[in-house]
Chains A and B, each alone.
Chain A
Amino acid sequence: GESVGLHLPTLSVQEGDNSIINCAYSNSASDYFIWYKQESGKGPQFIIDIRSNMDKRQGQRVTVLLNKTVKHLSLQIAATQPGDSAVYFCAENSYGGFKTIFGAGTRLFVKA
């Protein structure tokens, strides 16, 4: 399949280590935030979301942190696995929920 994110920021981690991917969002009125994973040749896959009335939410091996003061979002992946290698996008939902704005993305490489 085609490559996604040829010139994106890259994070390289060792298998088994924890990964932290950061994102700065743009609109202080956004109230819903989502992390997506995109593998080469595929569409974005939902990972986890968080609403603005929360500052932390945990899923299976993933945690999202939201800091509204500095408009910052992070995704933490515990015990990173080779299958986690992909491009990760943060996204924010604005304007009453119609329009989702994606960030630039971060490429995660997991070294075995």
Chain B
Amino acid sequence: DAGVTQSPTHLIKTRGQQVTLRCSPKSGHDTVSWYQQALGQGPQFIFQYYEEEERQRGNFPDRFSGHQFPNYSSELNVNALLLGDSALYLCASSLRRGTDTQYFGPGTRLTVL
């Protein structure tokens, strides 16, 4: 049973560029949440997707957007990258909108130069 997978593992971009990160949830899970983890800090909630809709959003600007596909996989898009967007981006999947246990992927390390 595959766990949560994310791609790519590492990514280097320059300021102003756009990036797309991908996540495949754990088998049987229908909910995907995205988190940003800066070095030395705990993960910060970006948003959650359930039934292909954004259910709740954390304190992140509109430059951060997402999508969930019918097979429950998800993408995180970040536009107009800033240096401060450099972080580990984590995807977590769960069943039923996050009220059940969330399982995290290994993350994508984004570096913005």
Contact = CB atoms under 8 A, between A and B. Distances in A.
Interface of B: 4, 33, 35, 37, 39-45, 48, 55-56, 58, 88, 90, 92, 97-99, 101-107, 109
B97 to A, nearest CB: 6
A91 B44 CA distance: 11
B40 A97 contact: no
Interface band, chain A: 20 to 34
Nearest to B101: A46
A100 B102 contact: yes
B56 A104 contact: no
A97 B103 CA distance: 15
B81 to A, nearest CB: 19
A104 B42 contact: yes
Contact of A43 (B40, B48, B104): B104
B56 A34 contact: no
A97 B98 contact: yes
A30 to B, nearest CB: 12
Q: List the 6 shortest-distance A-B pairs measured between CB atoms, nearest first.
A: A102-B42, A43-B104, A97-B99, A98-B56, A6-B40, A44-B104
